[in-house]
Amino acid sequence: MKATVTAHRDYRIATIDDRLYGAFLEHLGRAIYSGVYEPGHPTADANGMRRDVIDLVRELKVPIVRYPGGNFVSAYNWEDGIGPRDKRPTRLDLAWHTSESNAVGVHEFADWSAAAGTEMMLAINLGSRGLDEARNFVEYVNGPTGSYWGDLRKANGRAEPFGVKHWCLGNEMDGPWQVGHKTAHEYGRLANETAKTLRAFDSSLELIVCGSSNSDMATYPEWERIVLEHCYDSVDHVSLHMYFANRAKNTAEYLALGEKLDAYIGTIASTIDFVRAAKRSRKKVTISFDEWNVWYHSNAQDREILAGAKGWPHAPRLLEDIYNFEDALQVGCILNTFIRRSDVVRIACIAQLVNVIAPIMTEPGGAAWRQTTFYPYYFASVFGRGDALQLSVKSPGYDAEVADNVPYVDISGVHDAEGKALTFFVVNRNPSETIDLDVSLQGFSAASVGDHQVLAGAPLEATNTLVAPTTITPKKGSGAAVADGSLTAKLPPHSYQMIRLNLA
Ligand code: AHR
């Protein structure tokens, strides 16, 4: 089987926004407690943050982290997480049926973000609360001393404003499961008034309004149209979410879901354009895809806790999906889709970062390790910065429920002019055939293979665990070559590859 691709230096989709490789941390399960924060851990720093986890987050070069939720934020009082720890209240978390000690709040998260080399993106509770708490939170975080909230922050140990630029106006407000769920009109008005108020404080904030929780919602995509008609002029990004699952144990259908993601992004891009035209606006609202990942392995084991059968445990094991090799292929396809839609997707956050549906897992008091999905995320984040190329792809394909002629070869290409590199991320969705890949390189200076990393040849159900953390690790590839202006490589069945070319 053969696939041919043309990559031309001048055929660009967009300069990829670094924020495309963001992540998400929620007060959920063990994401925070025994995930990033574990004061008694042998690697804990002076703030009680696990250094082993910080090192892995740094390895991933995560540019931005959304916090503190998620569904959690819709009944969260941000004030519970400030001031002396021994005075902070323990609250019931209605989203996940657990207890929240509030040992970590915005100050601790800021310290962690600085240590991990990442920027904060904060979510505001627009479920159980409203405009006043939103403005107080933003003033507390970013306001000057000499005013009430700035002075309180100083009294709590931080005189300098945190300078957080990105603010999410609630979370999944279209979802009936959300505390304070709203209709599109109710939410659109509230989001607009909140955005206007926050802009009166600082017009340069980047504000993210809730779009659909997924593209199967009954209100999608009317939700986006109505919400944006209320607030187009006062927000910057629409937030979308999507989780992927292979419940039917059908790998071909599962790996085709990137096509559904692509259609979802395309529909919302069109909805944005529609509202923009209706408003005669020049402003371009873009997409913040701030929750995406595989999520289904842990559903059954989580039921008891979510149903309240265990009372209100603090930081229990929840949403601890153990990812397999098949999921790594899926994450490769998802990231390729974001790179190909980087003209409109400016921010994306893998959900989540540690322990909870995450590429990084930890054991309390013990090790931290990389899940299978760590690797495609790592390669895209580290080597996928630059210009996304508009590739012309001719690949054999197959018909799936979500789309016809899904190409076996899922590929994206990124040109890093400054670093003189051209990188391809390639998934072969074919279960049994090796595909001969031929990429015609046009307009590029002489190229040679600089790095070639492969995930292949493992059972689809293979996992990395505490006792066997390196079952799935990338291997150095062989056989990729550049000659006569073409890159050739062999793509084994069900494989992921990162091929990085050095340019002269
Ligand atoms: O990431 C887990 C949950 O998924 C988030 O809390 C919520 O926003 C989404 O439904």
State whether the beta carbon of 321 lies less than 6 angstroms from ligand 1: no
Mutational pocket test of ligand 1: of 217, 291, 292, 354, the residue with most ligand atoms within 8 Å of the beta carbon: 291
Distances (CA, A) of 440 to 37, 71, 489: 48, 46, 12
Which residue owns the Cα nearest ligand 1 atom 2? Answer: 70
φ, ψ of residue 118 in degrees (nearest 5): -130, 160
Which domains, ranges and CATH numbers included, belong to the chain? Answer: 2-9+389-503 (2.60.40.1180), 17-383 (3.20.20.80)
- How remote is the CA of residue 179 from the centroid of ligand 1, in Å? 12
Instruction: List the beta bridge partners of residue 481.
Output: 488
* Residue reference for tokens 């259609």: 263
Mutational pocket test of ligand 1: of 24, 171, 174, the residue with most ligand atoms within 8 Å of the beta carbon: 171
State whether the beta carbon of 29 lies less than 6 angstroms from ligand 1: no
Which residue owns the Cα nearest ligand 1 atom 3? Answer: 70
| 233 SS3 class | helix
Give the total residue count for the chain: 504
State whether the beta carbon of 71 lies less than 6 angstroms from ligand 1: yes
Buried b (16+ CB within 10 A) or exposed e, 299-327: eeebeebeeeeeebeebbbbbbbebbbbb
- Please choose, from the candidates 252, 261, 287, 262, the residue with its C-alpha nearest in 3D space to the C-alpha of residue 273: 287
First to last CA, the chain: 31
- How remote is the CA of residue 73 from the centroid of ligand 1, in Å? 10
Among 26, 119, 291, 326, the active-site one is 291
Mutational pocket test of ligand 1: of 27, 28, 65, 71, the residue with most ligand atoms within 8 Å of the beta carbon: 71
Confirm if 75 and 133 have CB atoms less than 8 A apart: no
- How remote is the CA of residue 185 from the centroid of ligand 1, in Å? 22
Confirm if 121 and 207 have CB atoms less than 8 A apart: no
Residue 46 has a CB neighbour count (10 Å cut-off) of: 8
Q: Which two tokens stand for residue 493?
A: 């069945």
Q: Which pLDDT score, from 0 to 100, does residue 446 have?
A: 85
Confirm if 313 and 302 have CB atoms less than 8 A apart: no
- Please choose, from the candidates 402, 373, 77, the residue with its C-alpha nearest in 3D space to the C-alpha of residue 258: 402
d(C-alpha 395, C-alpha 408), whole Å: 6
- Please choose, from the candidates 426, 418, 432, the residue with its C-alpha nearest in 3D space to the C-alpha of residue 487: 426
Residue 101 has a CB neighbour count (10 Å cut-off) of: 17
- How remote is the CA of residue 298 from the centroid of ligand 1, in Å? 14
Parts of the chain with a pLDDT under 50: none
Confirm if 208 and 167 have CB atoms less than 8 A apart: yes
Among 26, 38, 133, 172, the active-site one is 172
**Is 172 noted as a catalytic residue in this protein?**
yes
- How remote is the CA of residue 71 from the centroid of ligand 1, in Å? 6
Which residue owns the Cα nearest ligand 1 atom 1? Answer: 351
What atom in ligand 1 is closest to the CA of residue 352?
1
State whether the beta carbon of 100 lies less than 6 angstroms from ligand 1: no
Distances (CA, A) of 315 to 28, 35, 310: 7, 10, 12
Distances (CA, A) of 156 to 34, 74, 84, 108, 150: 24, 24, 8, 11, 10
Q: Which two tokens stand for residue 27?
A: 């007060």
Residue 174 identity: D
Q: Is the pTM of this model over 0.85?
A: yes
State whether the beta carbon of 171 lies less than 6 angstroms from ligand 1: yes
